[in-house]
Amino acid sequence: MKASVIYWSGTGNTEAMANEIASKLKELGADTNLISVENASTDDAKEADVLALGCPAMGAEELEEDYFRPYFDSIKEIIKDKKIAIFGSYEWNSGEWMDLWKNECAENGIAVIDALIAYDHPDAEALAKCRELAEKLMK
């Protein structure tokens, strides 16, 4: 099983979630690729059986616009038949960006099996949910 965890993180909070998810995927036996989106290619999405995509709330409840948004747009068609989970950190509001992102996935025929938000730097409870997300991807 090939897994890719592809994320953008400005101050490390979403990165901490990505690290936890990737480490659990590895523990569960997946051949896991952990990549910051700046370094990700469409092949990293194409070659993966399961994908975890991470981006914090940026702009006004939006995905980060310079790297993550264009990358996500470029893989929308490719990831339709894969098992996908989305995750990210927020701080100012209550997670609306994740609802919008989830809706966008649904509108594009992308079946999301988990959408996980963590307030600021993920605490122990949020990290446990990251491990659960990895378990759901591997089921």
Ligand X SMILES: Cc1cc2nc3c(=O)[nH]c(=O)nc-3n(C[C@H](O)[C@H](O)[C@H](O)COP(=O)(O)O)c2cc1C
Residues 54-83 that bind ligand X (CB under 6 A): 56-61
Q: Which of 51, 90, 127, 129 binds ligand X (CB under 6 A)?
A: 90
Q: Which string of x and - marks every residue 11-40 that binds ligand X (by CB under 6 A)?
A: xxxxx-------------------------
Q: Which lies closer to ligand X via its Cβ, residue 8 or residue 79?
A: 8
Cβ pair 53, 102 in contact under 8 A: no
The helices-and-strands tally (H runs, E runs) of the chain is 5, 5
| Region near ligand X per CB under 6 A, out of 20-28, 30-38, 91-99, 123-131 | 91-99
The pair of structure tokens assigned to 83 is: 């098992």
The C-alpha atoms of residue 66 and residue 87 are separated, in whole angstroms, by 18
